[in-house]
């Protein structure tokens, strides 16, 4: 026992000594660097009144029918605002999820994926008790949201809106339009695309960015199927052109979502989700897994965004030093810059960690970095960067479909594709979209970068109906 006591005492003295030496060694480096200062800046807010902000209606979207969804959403957010980074949104109390899209309705909306989707959607409103009458409160709430301003106030919080409710409402809204007639359906598609493109541009968190991209792609898959049908009235097309333009810089940017991950990582390194129960965290994780599936991302995509956590009490203390935070800030800044160049390779965290250990004593006095380096941990950003490129590719393909449906006196489809300009090139290759004349398929090579001749399972591919894309020449 005496030897054990001496060992414990010696160990404590060693730890205290190392901590003292570490403080002396690193004290000159404790000033926040430029990257850290930049990443800890809070985004400016332009919507002063929370009740006018559609973000809070998204948080309170499923609250009971007679409630004020904006107020409910604001209450959900306000409960965690004082403890940023550590508490999940609480949807368990006060009937906050009473107005959900019913399972049978979601099943009925699977006709979205049928080959003759336009005709299938028109049948949904024909039944005596159609799903649109049953889901009228959900539709009313969705229309109300579309008319509001939007600003993402979820920055710095690990929680997010309940996406399954919003995804179901989006499909209901568009499907109801097509159940009336094609013109109304296309008008609904235009409005839905415009609303979610605003969210895509304003999103400051990865879950909301992904949700916006998923809904936009869902709308575009439907739209491209309709545009590939030769009997669609071309007189209905002009209104589509503004909403199928390529992504803007703000819509493509991942700066704020990446910055938000840094803020959450700093919070986790200091105190892991204090003050929240397991059921709220599980609800949040389930929500993200559902979203990952809807967006065709890996199931653990959001989990792999989370920064490394300290392995034990000693490394936890070291990880809180400004030197370590500066190192991670520099890495996150490099990631943010890399996402602005779609063809550039993503920086590796390990390269930054190893570069910081110029001497043996650097590694010895910064055990947190050594632990992370030896574990080989890397955050995985590519699924999200490729999702944005895929969204852009689908927009460009839809825009080209609209252009190619306009009759001209030339049959040179490849020339017309090239003449559309750089803004309509394939974002994955930087070259004009590809054309398969034998199948009438216009396509992007997609995230694998390989030309699979427009195979829908591998490429991002749409149909161009030749019967309407070419006007016979009058020359003899």
- In DSSP notation, 256-314 reads HHHHHHHHHHHHHHHSSSTT--HHHHHHHHHHHHHHHHHTT--TTTTGGGSPP--SSHH
**Among the three residues 207, 224, 244, which one is the final residue of a domain in this structure?**
244
Model confidence at 237: pLDDT above 80 = yes
Model confidence at 424: pLDDT above 90 = yes
Q: What is the mean pLDDT of residues 340-365?
A: 69
Quickly state the pLDDT bin for 452 (edges 50, 70, 90).
very high
Q: What are the DSSP calls for 358-371, one per residue?
A: -SHHHHHH-HHHHH
**298 to each of 261, 284, 294, 349, how far by Cα in Å?**
18, 17, 10, 21
Q: Which of 163-172, 290-299, 301-310 has the lowest mean pLDDT?
A: 301-310
**Among the three residues 182, 216, 244, which one is the final residue of a domain in this structure?**
244
Q: Which domain covers residue 145, as residue numbers?
A: 53-244
pLDDT score, position 465: 85
pLDDT score, position 287: 95
H-run or E-run covering 25: helix 2-26
Q: What is the mean pLDDT of residues 70-99?
A: 92
Whether residue 1 is contained in a domain is answered as: no
Tens of pLDDT, residue by residue over 306-348, are 876 544 444 445 445 678 888 889 999 999 999 988 777 889 8
Whether residue 106 is contained in a domain is answered as: yes
φ, ψ of residue 414 in degrees (nearest 5) = -55, -40
Whether residue 133 is contained in a domain is answered as: yes
pLDDT score, position 128: 55
Spell out the alpha helix ranges (H) of 113-205: 117-123, 131-134, 136-146, 163-180, 182-202
Q: How many domains does the chain have?
A: 2
pTM: 0.87
Averaged pLDDT score across all residues of the chain: 84
**Among the three residues 186, 214, 244, which one is the final residue of a domain in this structure?**
244
pLDDT score, position 185: 94
- Radius of gyration for the alpha carbons in the chain, expressed in angstroms and rounded: 26
Quickly state the pLDDT bin for 10 (edges 50, 70, 90).
low
Model confidence at 64: pLDDT above 60 = yes
H-run or E-run covering 444: strand 441-444
Percent of the chain surpassing pLDDT 70: 81
State the Cα–Cα distance between residues 401 and 185, nearest whole angstrom: 18
pLDDT score, position 288: 96
pLDDT score, position 26: 46
State the Cα–Cα distance between residues 57 and 70, nearest whole angstrom: 4
- Spell out the residues 6+ positions from residue 282 whose beta carbon is closer than 8 angstroms to its own: none
Who wins on pLDDT, 112 or 425?
425
Model confidence at 301: pLDDT above 70 = yes
Who wins on pLDDT, 424 or 130?
424
Whether residue 285 is contained in a domain is answered as: no
Quickly state the pLDDT bin for 27 (edges 50, 70, 90).
very low
Q: Which of 7-11, 25-29, 175-179, 185-189 has the lowest mean pLDDT?
A: 25-29
Q: What is the mean pLDDT of residues 455-474?
A: 72
Three-state DSSP at 434 gives strand
pLDDT score, position 110: 83
Quickly state the pLDDT bin for 352 (edges 50, 70, 90).
confident
State the Cα–Cα distance between residues 368 and 327, nearest whole angstrom: 12
pLDDT score, position 141: 97
Whether residue 239 is contained in a domain is answered as: yes
Model confidence at 8: pLDDT above 80 = no
- Spell out the residues 6+ positions from residue 211 whose beta carbon is closer than 8 angstroms to its own: 161, 163, 166, 167, 199, 291, 295
Whether residue 261 is contained in a domain is answered as: no
Whether residue 214 is contained in a domain is answered as: yes
Q: Which of 123-137, 188-202, 377-391, 395-409 has the lowest mean pLDDT?
A: 123-137
Block residue for tokens 């550039």: 344
Whether residue 171 is contained in a domain is answered as: yes
């Amino acid at each position: 026992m005496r030897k054990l006591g001496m060992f414990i005492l010696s160990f404590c003295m060693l730890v205290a000594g190392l901590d003292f030496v570490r403080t002396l060694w690193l004290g000159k480096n404790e000033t926040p660097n430029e990257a850290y200062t930049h990443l800890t800046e809070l985004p400016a807010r332009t919507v002063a009144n929370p009740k006018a902000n559609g973000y809070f209606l998204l948080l309170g979207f499923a609250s009971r029918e007679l409630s004020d969804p904006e107020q409910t959403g604001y209450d959900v957010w306000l409960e965690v605002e004082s403890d940023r980074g550590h508490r999940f949104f609480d949807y368990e109390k006060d009937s906050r999820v009473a107005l959900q899209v019913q399972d049978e309705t979601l099943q009925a909306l699977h006709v979205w994926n049928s080959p003759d989707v336009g005709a299938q959607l028109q049948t949904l409103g024909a039944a005596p008790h159609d799903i649109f009458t049953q889901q009228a409160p959900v539709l009313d709430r969705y229309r109300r949201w579309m008319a509001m301003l939007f600003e993402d106030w979820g920055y710095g919080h690990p929680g997010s809106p309940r996406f399954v409710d919003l995804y179901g409402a989006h499909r209901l809204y568009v499907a109801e339009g097509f159940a009336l007639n094609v013109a109304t359906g296309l008008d609904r598609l235009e409005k839905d695309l415009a609303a979610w493109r605003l969210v895509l541009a304003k999103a400051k968190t990865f879950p909301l960015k992904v949700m916006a991209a998923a809904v936009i792609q869902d709308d575009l898959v439907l739209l491209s199927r309709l545009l590939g049908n030769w009997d669609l009235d071309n007189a209905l097309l002009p209104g589509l052109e503004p909403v199928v333009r390529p992504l803007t810089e703000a819509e493509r940017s991942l700066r704020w979502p990446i910055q938000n991950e840094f803020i959450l990582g700093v919070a986790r390194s200091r105190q892991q989700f204090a003050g929240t129960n397991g059921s709220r965290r599980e609800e949040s994780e389930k929500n993200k897994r559902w979203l990952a599936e809807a967006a065709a991302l890996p199931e653990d995509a959001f989990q792999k965004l989370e920064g490394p956590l300290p392995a034990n009490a000693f490394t936890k203390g070291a990880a809180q030093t400004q030197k370590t935070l500066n190192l991670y800030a520099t890495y996150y800044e490099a990631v943010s810059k890399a996402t602005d160049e779609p063809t550039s390779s993503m920086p590796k965290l390990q390269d930054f960690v190893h570069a910081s250990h110029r001497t043996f004593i650097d590694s010895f006095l910064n055990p947190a970095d050594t632990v992370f380096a030896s574990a080989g941990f890397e955050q995985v950003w590519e699924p999200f960067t490729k999702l944005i490129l895929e969204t852009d590719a689908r927009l460009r393909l839809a825009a080209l479909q609209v252009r190619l449906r306009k009759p001209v006196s030339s049959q040179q489809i490849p020339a017309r594709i090239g003449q559309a300009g750089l803004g309509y090139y394939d974002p994955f290759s930087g070259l004009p979209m590809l054309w398969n004349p034998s199948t009438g398929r216009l396509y992007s090579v997609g995230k694998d970068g390989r030309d699979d001749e427009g195979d829908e399972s591998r490429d991002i591919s749409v149909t161009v109906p030749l019967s309407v894309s070419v006007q016979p020449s009058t020359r003899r």
